[in-house]
């Protein structure tokens, strides 16, 4: 019986990396029946909304989705569909493994950091008040009446909720992941010295949860210091658990440590469903150019195979990608030292190379 899995090709470079990835998945021998849906710009054009009920129903029914990146207009237009999807499906944990693959030219080697990002709260909760709107004026008045700070009348406001419940869930997820994967240390990241009631709660809750895991080392770090430590001594870190916004930023920093965003996968995990996608965005300037690295999406697909307990095909896919990288012959521009290197491979050529290795390994 094939697995029924929802497939969302996404915007920009999404369709071409999705095509490369589904071809590689087919070569693993795992039978998958794709339930294909659009979200983002493509859905907006077709259905008048960037996120349809059908997509949510499909993911709820299939319980697993593979997703390409989706464009979010900056400043105006629709809210992030990615954020909405994570909230609608309560995909509370975002897992972003940042691992060095031999052959990638990077300042560091042997990095193996897993970023565990809370995915539903924080400044990404989407609670925003537009400059000059009636509600915003009332909120500014309310805050002044409560004796808090005077907020300038021409302000826009974003709210940062951090709850004990969601923090307990994400930190427990990080510790359980550490135990299940033989990891040694969890670092809780915050800015509790400044934001005492949001980040302070995150830290206090994490410290409580850590007490149930005496076998795993626990430490905390202030986010600005963490960034400095990460670029100077990245080998010190194992699992990093953070609220939503810091998690987004720090995971890109970690992607930079291992050679860039073209090789970093992610999983958005809830109690009932999971959505796998590359960390990178839709890179609109490269759309349709058969240029970008499909490996981040392929590695996300390998995470998806592990999630559905297809461990061996997952290992074979990851190892075919790792061998393609280490040979260095068929890799995209981002993995080449010289951007004008004539041997730079296209997206589809990388897929062909990975598939060839998968077939050789059978
Ligand atoms: P981006 O799409 O990740 O692209 C930023 C840069 O990263 C690119 O210009 C390129 O660098 C590099 N890059 C991205 N994907 C790559 C790949 N597969 N292979 C090699 N290099 C790659 O970030 P953005 O330009 O900030 O965002 C574009 C849109 O994507 C926005 O609308 C944003 O909201 C959205 N986005 C969506 C998701 C998601 O769907 N989960 C995540 C992040 C952003 P060079 O210029 O150096 O070649």
| Closest residue to atom 41 of ligand 1, CA basis | 69
User: Is 248 known to be catalytic?
Assistant: yes
Print burial letters for 318-348: b (CB count within 10 Å at least 16), e (below 16).
bebbbbbbeeeebbbbbbeeeeeeeebbbbe
Catalytic residue among 67, 169, 191, 291: 191
The residue behind tokens 């949510």 is 56
Q: What is the pTM of this model?
A: 0.93
| Closest residue to atom 8 of ligand 1, CA basis | 283
Arithmetic mean of pLDDT over the chain: 94
Which residue out of 283, 297, 337 has the highest number of ligand 1 atoms within 8 Å of its CB and is therefore the one to mutate?
283
Q: Is 11 near ligand 1, meaning CB less than 6 Å away?
A: no
Q: Where in the chain is the domain with CATH 3.40.50?
A: 107-119+163-257
Give the tens place of pLDDT for each residue, 242-257: 999 999 999 999 999 9
For residues 230 and 235, give the distance between their C-alpha atoms in angstroms, rounded to a whole number: 8
For residue 56, list its beta bridge partners. none
185: Cβ contacts below 8 Å, ≥ 6 apart: 178, 216, 217, 218, 219, 237, 238, 239
What is the topology classification, in CATH, of domain 1-95+264-362? Isopropylmalate Dehydrogenase (3.40.718)
Q: Where in the chain is the domain with CATH 3.40.718.10?
A: 1-95+264-362
| CATH level 2 (architecture), domain 107-119+163-257 | 3-Layer(aba) Sandwich (3.40)
pLDDT band per the 50, 70, 90 thresholds, residue 75: low
pLDDT band per the 50, 70, 90 thresholds, residue 106: confident
User: Is 224 known to be catalytic?
Assistant: yes
* Structural tokens at position 104: 């990638």
For residues 344 and 256, give the distance between their C-alpha atoms in angstroms, rounded to a whole number: 20
Residue 17 exposed, middle or buried by CB count within 10 Å (0-12, 13-18, 19+):
buried
pLDDT band per the 50, 70, 90 thresholds, residue 138: very high
User: Is 154 known to be catalytic?
Assistant: no
Q: Is the pLDDT of residue 93 over 70?
A: yes
Q: Is the pLDDT of residue 74 over 90?
A: no
* Structural tokens at position 33: 């029946």
């Amino acid at each position: 019986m094939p697995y029924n899995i929802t497939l969302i090709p996404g915007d920009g470079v999404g369709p071409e990396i999705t095509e490369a990835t589904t071809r590689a998945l087919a070569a693993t021998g795992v039978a998958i029946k794709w339930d294909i849906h659009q979200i983002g710009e493509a859905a907006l054009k077709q259905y008048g909304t960037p996120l349809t009920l059908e997509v949510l129903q499909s993911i709820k029914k299939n319980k697993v989705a593979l997703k390409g990146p989706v464009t979010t207009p900056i400043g105006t237009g629709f809210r992030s569909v990615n954020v909405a999807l994570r909230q609608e499906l309560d995909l509370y944990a975002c897992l972003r493994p940042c691992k060095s693959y031999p052959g990638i030219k990077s300042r560091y080697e042997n990095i193996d950091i897993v970023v565990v990002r809370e995915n539903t709260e924080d400044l990404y909760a989407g609670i925003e008040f537009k400059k000059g709107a009636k509600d915003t004026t009332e909120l500014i008045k309310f805050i002044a009446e409560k004796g808090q700070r005077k907020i300038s009348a021409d302000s826009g406001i974003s709210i940062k909720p951090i709850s004990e419940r969601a923090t307990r869930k994400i930190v427990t997820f990080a510790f359980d992941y550490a135990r299940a994967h033989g990891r040694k240390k969890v670092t809780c990241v915050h800015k509790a010295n400044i934001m005492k009631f949001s980040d302070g709660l995150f830290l206090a809750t994490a410290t409580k949860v850590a007490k149930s895991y005496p076998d795993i080392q626990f430490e905390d770090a202030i986010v600005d210091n963490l960034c400095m430590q990460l670029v100077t001594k990245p080998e010190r870190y194992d699992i990093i658990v953070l609220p939503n916004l810091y998690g987004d930023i720090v995971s890109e920093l970690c992607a930079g440590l291992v050679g860039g965003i073209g090789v970093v996968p992610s999983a958005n995990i809830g109690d009932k469903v999971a959505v796998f996608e590359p960390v990178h965005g839709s890179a609109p300037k490269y759309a349709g150019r058969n240029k970008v690295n499909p490996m981040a999406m392929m590695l996300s697909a390998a995470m998806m195979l592990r999630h559905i307990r297809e461990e061996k095909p997952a290992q074979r896919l990851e190892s075919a990608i790792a061998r393609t990288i280490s040979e260095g012959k068929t890799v995209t521009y981002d993995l080449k030292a010289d951007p004008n290197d004539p041997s730079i491979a296209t997206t589809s050529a990388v897929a062909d190379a990975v598939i060839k290795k998968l077939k050789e390994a059978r």
